[in-house]
Amino acid sequence: MPELPEVETTLRAILPVLKDKKILDVEVLRRNMVMDPDTFPKKIKGHTVKNVERQGKYLLIALDHGMTLIIHLRMSGRLGLRKASDPPLSYERVRFHLPSNLLLIFNDPRTLGRAYVIPTNQLPHHPPLKKLGPDALTVSEKEFVDRLSRKRGILKSVLLNQSFVAGIGNIYADESCFVAKVDPRRTAQSLTPAEKKRLHAAVIETLEKGVSNMGTSFSDFADLFGKPGKNQRSLFVYGRSGKKCHTCGTILQRTVIGQRGTVWCPKCQQ
């Protein structure tokens, strides 16, 4: 499931491919995945990509006519790059035709991903972006600790709240709590100053590891060329409920917090 490292991996791959390229045509194969499907292609077709950026889990593709294409991969979305002559991938939802017979594919089995276009000068006022907290990969220790100190509620839910910091999803939330040795079921308020600092370091370390491993791939995520990431091989707790903790051998526990599966080590995480 794409979280910050998977979106960052995608960004690094598509930027050199898309920059200064004209989008020659757009095909919408699943109307529910784009806003205003009838006018969506017209807003993009014939325009050139000036830049690609990431805000939290959102990809922002700036075009040369003052509009920005926003893509959110949500649960199972990914972008693929192929030759137009290659056999079609499963679950292709939106196809962007580029020069040199290239296709950028928005692929999404569960069709929860979204693509839409808004004026670039509206980005700072766009509600989903406006409410994002600082980027989880680069947030300073002071800001992280200050913001955490103002949050109430269960720690796991706070980490998943994109207005706290942007980019953490279910996998990296569980992994960060393990690395910081804190129980995800605790309230955010209950963390000591030392634990808050440890959690900040753990979040950064966990996300950086995810980026350097090119993301975590279970069933869905892969890079532009279909190659899966490697981070699933080095997870401590996510997806390992009932197995032994790598650190102490205790059986990892699973519960549900805020409708999200949560795995932790009852001995290492207090």
Nearer to DNA, 107 or 269 (CB): 107
Tell me: does residue 266 bind DNA (CB under 7 A): no
Residue with tokens 């898309």: 18
Q: CB–CB of 148/199 below 8 Å? A: yes
According to the binding rule CB under 7 A, does residue 186 interact with DNA? no
DSSP-H helix ranges across 107-192: 127-130, 141-149, 155-160, 170-180
In the set 1, 94, 98, 268, which binds DNA (CB under 7 A)?
A: 1
Which residues within the stretch 30-49 sit at the binding site for DNA (CB under 7 A)? 32
How far lies 178's CA from each of 44, 46, 149, 200, 225, in Å?
A: 43, 48, 20, 12, 32
Per the annotation, the verdict on 3 as an active-site residue is yes
Q: Which is nearer to DNA, 21 or 72 (CB)?
A: 72
Q: Provide the 3-class DSSP secondary structure of residue 70.
A: strand
Among 53, 258, 266, 270, binds DNA (CB under 7 A): 258
Cα maximum dimension of the chain: 58
Which residue spans within the chain are E strands per DSSP? 25-28, 49-55, 58-63, 67-72, 78-83, 92-98, 102-107, 114-119, 253-257, 260-264
Catalytically annotated residue among 43, 57, 151, 196: 57
> CA-to-CA distance for 113 and 251, rounded, in angstroms?
35
Which range of residues in 94-102, 135-143, 154-162, 178-186 is near DNA by CB under 7 A?
Answer: 154-162
What minimum distance in Å lies between the beta carbon of 24 and DNA? 28
CA distance 44 to 169: 30
If the CB atoms of residues 23 and 238 are measured against DNA, the closer one turns out to be: 238
| The dihedral sign for the CA sequence 227, 85, 93, 44 | positive
Q: Rule CB under 7 A: is residue 153 a binding residue for DNA?
A: yes
Nearer to DNA, 175 or 195 (CB): 175
Q: Interface residues for DNA in 210-229 (CB under 7 A)?
A: 219
HSE (side-chain half, CA atoms, 13 Å) at 24? 9
Count of residues interacting with DNA (CB under 7 A) = 31
Q: Rounded distance, CA 269 to CA 178, Å?
A: 6
**Quick check: is 260 catalytic?**
yes
- Among residues 190, 182, 183, 181, which one has the least CA distance to residue 153? 190
74 vs 246, which CB is nearer to DNA? 74
Nearest distance in Å: CB 108, DNA? 8
80 touches DNA (CB under 7 A): no
Q: Confirm or reject binding of residue 124 to DNA (CB under 7 A).
A: no
Active site residue 208: no
Active-site annotation, residues: 2-3, 57, 260
Q: Would you tell me which residues interact with DNA (CB under 7 A)?
A: 1, 3, 32, 56-57, 72, 74-76, 91, 109-112, 127-128, 152-154, 157, 160, 162, 169-171, 219, 256, 258-261
